[in-house]
Amino acid sequence: MSLSPDLRLDFPALDQLVGGKPLVYLDNGATTHKPRSVITAMSRFYERDNSNVHRGLHALSMRATDGFEGARARAARFINAAHAAEIVFTRGTTESVNLVAHSWGNANLRAGDVILTTEMEHHSNLVPWQELARRTGATLRYVPVIGSDGEHGLDLDALERLLTPQVKLFAFTHLSNTLGVLNDAAALCAKARAVGALTLIDAAQSIGHEPIDVQALGCDFLAFSGHKMAGPTGIGVLYGKRALLDAMPPYQTGGGMVVSVTYEGATWKPSPERFEAGTPNIADAIGLSAAFDYLDALGRPAISAHDHALAQHACTALSELPGIRVLGPKSGQPRGGLVSFAFAEAHAHDVVTFADQDGIALRGGHHCNQPLMRKFGLPSTTRASFYVYNTEAEIELLVKSMRRILKFFAG
């Protein structure tokens, strides 16, 4: 099964000119565009069902509650969680990771314990663990990235040495947002489980591209954002095994997450309600549910094959250009749907600015991977990241633009 080029018509934002040229949007690793079905679902809520959830007995509140809790059940089906109660709505991956770091981490870690992560992590799956280690006295360790420019991914021999019984949590990315490395998450979870460590998967980059089954992966927590999978911004999911969530204290407190409040104290609802203080992001949860439906209608195996093929094509073509250094798996090796590269003669911000003149949207900078960039001796890279609406013809336009930029800076 392959993706139809006609699906591009589902995304109204793509039908525009940038600098007089048709938009070529290759910044999907930062955020994806939204199909009409997602936009319509959110508009319909505001036009017809807008009300607060859970506590109202009138028709609009009940419809809003049905939509919101229906979105929770839809999220559970999308990742094959065992129960809807294992789905906590957050603002995105960053808040999901911070929730675990505070609620689970503060309650369970102490001096002598080890938190394990990797050198390829986004700051959102790195800084919260640094802060947790500072608060609790735990030690933070990193699985190295190996190979020239990280083309070999994680050092699995080092992982075997680092996974000791002192490791209480192993937090790692499923798909590197800079290298394009797609980690074998099920194997990593199994290795951690063998020493009694819990696992948290950062699925921000993989959720909209790869089939994900949390029960098959065997993870304890998984975090993702809606806006990187054709859904709205400001909504995300924390999946957690039910027994773990029920044992964790709240991350925030306020209305909606309490059973009883007196002047002396309060008692909490079970998960997931205990982690969703205040009025939730109702419209965006409903929009996220529509994104789940849209992606499943396309077929996630087909999406994965499409995005991987575009990345391979781009990697091969860019690697042939003089003066460009491609990070991550090399041509012919498996990689997720993105390619990061550096020019010998130009800063990434200049490359992105020049590409914008050709109507091409790219991302330039350290991609919230500053420690990894330092490891490779790079101040920044340019990243092209692909999604369901991108085509091979757009890859050719990207390469043509890069040739123009190389010619300009080579003098």
Interval 212-250: pLDDT, tens: 999 999 999 999 999 999 999 999 999 999 999 999 999
Query: From CA 152, how far away is CA 155, in angstroms rounded?
Result: 8
pLDDT at 78 over 60: yes
pLDDT at 42: 98
Active site residue 368: yes
Percent over 70 (pLDDT), the chain = 100
pLDDT at 22 over 60: yes
User: pLDDT tens-digit profile of 315-353?
Assistant: 999 999 998 999 999 878 889 999 999 998 889 999 999
pLDDT at 330: 87
Q: How confident is the model at residue 55 (pLDDT cuts 50, 70, 90)?
A: confident
What tokens were used for 50? 């807008």
CATH architecture of 5-26+300-410: Alpha-Beta Complex (3.90)
pLDDT at 128: 98
What tokens were used for 279? 């009025």
User: pLDDT tens-digit profile of 89-114?
Assistant: 999 999 999 999 999 999 999 999 99
Q: Which residues contact 36 (CB under 8 A, 6 or more apart)?
A: 10, 11, 12
* Overall average pLDDT of the 150-170 stretch: 96
pLDDT at 334: 84
pLDDT at 411: 64
* Overall average pLDDT of the 379-395 stretch: 97
Domain residue ranges in the chain: 5-26+300-410, 39-296
pLDDT at 252 over 70: yes
Mean pLDDT of the chain: 96
pLDDT at 67 over 70: yes
User: pLDDT tens-digit profile of 193-209?
Assistant: 999 999 999 999 999 99
pLDDT at 233: 98
pLDDT at 5: 83
Full strand arrangement of the beta sheet holding 338-343: 324-326, 338-343, 381-385, 363-365
User: In this structure, how many other beta carbons lie within 10 angstroms of the beta carbon of residue 107?
Assistant: 11
Q: Give ∠ CA 29-33-35 in degrees, rounded to 5.
A: 140
Identify how many contiguous H helices and E strands the chain contains and give both numbers: 14, 19
User: pLDDT tens-digit profile of 32-45?
Assistant: 999 999 999 999 99
365: left (phi over 0), alpha (psi -120 to 50) or beta: left
Packed helices 300-319 and 392-410: angle between N→C axes, nearest 10 degrees: 30
pLDDT at 177: 97
pLDDT at 345: 85
pLDDT at 1 over 60: no
What CATH code would you report for 39-296?
3.40.640.10
pLDDT at 410: 79
